[in-house]
Amino acid sequence: MTGLSHRASQDRPTTVVFMDFDGTVTRGDSLLPFLRRLTHSRLAMGQSVVMVGVDLLRTRRASRSDAKQFLVSRCVSGRGADELRGLGREFAQYLAQRRVLVDAISEVDRHRTDGALVVLVSASLDVYLEPFRDLAGLDALLCTQMEYSSGVATGRFSGPNVRGAEKVRMVEGWMQSRGLERDQCEVVAYGNGAGDRHLLNWADCGFLRSRRLFRRTGGFRRVPSSERSS
């Protein structure tokens, strides 16, 4: 991860890069592995919670967001903020050392060398993405936020599940807060699936992780205009 430690130029960038996390920067999903770590000492409960959540998705009795909220609530509710943040830091280290994809890091380094801002945009949880952002030296993080009350996790999200069209809304708000005019920046986006399509289509240039290439050597392909919706 040492290649990510340098900071972008303090001058306003002409390019802003938004990158998805799970399956784009890392190999596979990060949420379920994190929840399994949380429930390791209560293995039977943890397994049952995961099974119920997967069943909700498979039978379509709940939306993806509902199933995610269910899983997170059962695994996280009642835990202290300090405990969760400590576990999050440990998990971020694991992700950085074991799950990060080399080609994604190469893309980040290339854009940073060119003076771009690089922002992580993910539906995964802030409790481990914040320390990952710091480890990677990225410029900002837009992700699903945990809610706390009196230093204890409620198990609920304090804001939206940052997936699909919500990614575009979060990105637009962040750019406005930084004084970055959309028509004065080149916006580049990276993703790996349906949850990233809105952002890839909104960007000036979108890169999708090729599943065929991923099974072999990994790689991104530029999304051609013929595949981009208005």
Q: Tell me the per-residue pLDDT of 5-31, one tens digit each, with 9 for 90 and over.
A: 344 444 544 799 999 999 999 999 999
In angstroms, the CA 99 to CA 27 distance is 5
Please report the pLDDT score of residue 178 as a whole number: 94
Please report the pLDDT score of residue 75 as a whole number: 87
Q: Are 137 and 5 in contact (CB under 8 A)?
A: yes
CATH number at residue 164: 3.40.50.1000
Please report the pLDDT score of residue 60 as a whole number: 60
All residues at 6 or more sequence positions from 169 whose CB lies less than 8 Å from its CB, including other chains: 160
In angstroms, the CA 162 to CA 81 distance is 21
Domain count, the chain: 1
Please report the pLDDT score of residue 67 as a whole number: 78
In angstroms, the CA 99 to CA 93 distance is 10
Using alpha carbons, list the distances in angstroms from residue 77 to 43, 98, 118, 150: 16, 28, 32, 13
Q: Label residue 21 left, alpha or beta by phi (over 0 means left) and psi (-120 to 50 means alpha).
A: alpha
Domain range for 65 is: 2-227
Residue spans of the chain under pLDDT 50: 2-10, 12-13, 44-45, 213-217, 230
Phi then psi dihedrals of residue 148, to 5 deg = -130, 150
